[in-house]
Amino acid sequence: MLERLKMMEQEALQALRSVRDVEALHAWDQAYLGKKGALTPFLRGLRDVSPEERPRVGQAVNQVKLALTAAFEAREAELKIAEQSASLAADAIDVTLPGRPPVIGRLHPSVQTLRRIYAIFADMGFQVYRAPDVESDELNFGLLNMPPHHPARDMWDTFYTTKAGVLLRTHTSPGQIRAMRQYCPQSIRVILPGMCYRYEQVTARSEMMFHQVEGLAVGKNITLTDLKGVMAEYARRMFGEGRQMRFRASYFPFTEPSVEVDMDCLLCGGAGCRVCKNTGWLEISGAGMVHPDVLRNGGYDPAVYSGFAFGMGVERPAMLMHAIDDIRLFFGNDLRFLEQF
């Protein structure tokens, strides 16, 4: 029995040296050390050995078992090191290669346009004034010369909240009252950028949510000529040199007189195209001299002070500058569109 045990040990060790992967190692473990392995008959055969020989034979069987177990563990450690080395060699990193550039965010095209507008009006002495998106009916309409049931309210389709007298502002003009009441009786020049909300049908040319920039200047001896000069400078800086301007009479409840400011079409150069509806002109702003009642509601004496106001979109100028034909792209969160800017 001892001779057969020695032969089995030599056979097992020789087989172990030929093992080249972990899968084959587990098969070797089952073949020699498992419940049905080659060592098991020797363990079970101890009961057939005479009592005098049993201690010596049992000690020999245990020594073989310990030797094979130790050899198995050593070979397992070797194979794991070899596998790790092979994996590192296969996935070797060339540290001399340049790193991958990180993906960085981009400014939204509306934000880019807003910053350009900020810079233009900052050079003309206007500061940015922030007003809330949620307004009272009084500030959005009443103090702007539109009392309840005034027909001019129909010019804006309004989002009302569940709280009486509270709404989402339909224009940035309520900020005029806030700015005047804060700075009165000082002269002021401010622009009021922000989001506006109107319950309108969404099309390629109009959105129910959009940016707007309001402008307001109040002081002594301010005239319509000052407004024309500011608008002309804005058009030149925003859209390029040589722009032609046109002022048309219009109506807004909070300005008197009121005008629409047009610019020669950027796309056709005034020749007429589909964008300008073959007129050669594009509207860029609504404007006018601040109505005396609005000045009075802001705390100024209209006999002493005068002022002008204007309001312009942000997405529309961006559409003109970048030849974008659908305003819905600005709020569609399509990365294919946004990553172009």
Q: Give the CATH number for residue 268.
A: 3.30.930.10
Total structural domains within the chain = 2
Domain termination residue (choose one: 90, 125, 148): 90
Do 121 and 74 belong to one domain? no
pTM over 0.75: no
Do 19 and 155 belong to one domain? no
Do 60 and 184 belong to one domain? no
Do 328 and 237 belong to one domain? yes
Do 266 and 319 belong to one domain? yes
Residue 98 lies in a domain: no
Residue 246 lies in a domain: yes
Residue 298 lies in a domain: yes
Residue 148 lies in a domain: yes
Residue 99 lies in a domain: no
pLDDT truncated to tens, each residue of the chain (341 aa)?
677 777 877 888 888 788 888 888 788 878 877 777 777 777 666 666 677 777 776 777 778 778 888 888 888 888 888 888 887 777 777 778 788 888 888 899 999 999 999 999 999 999 999 999 999 999 999 999 999 888 888 887 899 999 999 999 999 999 999 999 999 999 999 999 999 999 888 887 778 899 999 999 999 999 999 999 999 999 999 988 888 889 999 999 999 999 999 988 877 777 777 667 788 888 889 999 999 999 999 999 999 999 999 999 998 888 888 888 788 899 888 888 988 88
Do 181 and 34 belong to one domain? no
Burial of 36 from C-beta contacts in 10 A (0-12 / 13-18 / 19+): exposed
Do 220 and 319 belong to one domain? yes
Q: Using CA atoms, how far apart are residues 208 and 262, in angstroms rounded to an integer?
A: 23
Task: Quote the tokens at residue 340.
Answer: 């172009």
Residue 304 lies in a domain: yes
Instruction: Provide the phi-psi class of 32: left if phi over 0, else alpha when psi is between -120 and 50, else beta.
Output: alpha
Q: Using CA atoms, how far apart are residues 86 and 60, in angstroms rounded to an integer?
A: 39
Q: Which domain holds residue 255?
A: 109-338
